[in-house]
Amino acid sequence: MCKEDIWESAEWTVQARNIVKALKKFPVDSKIILILRHSHRNDPTELVKMHELRLTPQGHQVAKIFGQKLPNERAIRLYHSPVGRCQETAKDILTGFEETGGNGEIKGVLTPLFFAGTAPKFFQDINMKNSHLDFMFRWAVGLYSPDLISPLQMYCQKAAEIIWNGINDAPEKGIDIHITHDVFLMALRFGWFGIPPDVEWVPFLGGIAFTLTENKIKLFVKDRFISMNAPYWWKNRI
């Protein structure tokens, strides 16, 4: 299957296609925050550990197409986790975006996109013991010691301090794109907006897009827009 067919037809690109369409429906003068999972990778093996996995050729190709589909009248800033596949995704999106005349820059690593106050090897050990869904609900109800991982709501609030406040100095009509991993994206979606994790995990290049206006949020998730009040801990922050 060629790269265009993957973008148009693959099941794992559905959310990515929905996101680029939704970005054109936000108010034209708004600043948008986009939280994305990295592009396509292979599954880990005994010889290649999870943190070492890079993008596949189709992962690179589709990330570039994603960048080409972004509205180029908006400037973009890209942040990513320190893991190679997230850095690669950011570079590929920017390459595709610039090919259409878009203006953007890679700002670099942002702590909440990879770190939740976790002890070394915490996620590696958890993945061996629990499903992603079990882990997320255990984290939400506080079954893990804060010595191993920050409480979920504390992590989400600290992440908002950095990510939500960061949009204030974005260019007018800009998009801040944050490239992270499935577990962090699911946690932020849950802790920020009360959308619980489900069996259907976040696909590659899937994610959420939203705007903050005073204490109101306009959120796009999966295939629909949702309007809501900002969380109680964010009142009068913008």
Q: What is the pLDDT of residues 87-111, one digit of tens each?
A: 999 999 999 999 999 999 999 999 9
* Mean pLDDT over each residue of the chain, to the nearest integer: 91
- In words, the CATH class of domain 3-234 is alpha beta
Assess whether pLDDT exceeds 80 at residue 199.
no
H or E stretch covering 180 = strand 175-180
Instruction: Kindly state the average pLDDT of the residues 18-34.
Output: 96
Report pLDDT for 46: 54
Cα–Cα distance, 108 to 183 (Å, whole number): 20
The pTM of the full predicted model, rounded to 2 decimals, is: 0.93
H or E stretch covering 64 = helix 57-69
Cβ atoms of 93 and 78 within 8 Å: the answer is yes
Cα–Cα distance, 32 to 210 (Å, whole number): 6
Confidence of residue 237 (pLDDT cuts 50, 70, 90): low
| Amino acid at the residue 126 | I
Between strands 104-109 and 32-37, the pairing is unpaired
Cα–Cα distance, 162 to 61 (Å, whole number): 30
Residue 164, judged by CB atoms within 10 A of its CB (0-12, 13-18, 19+), counts as buried
H or E stretch covering 216 = strand 216-221
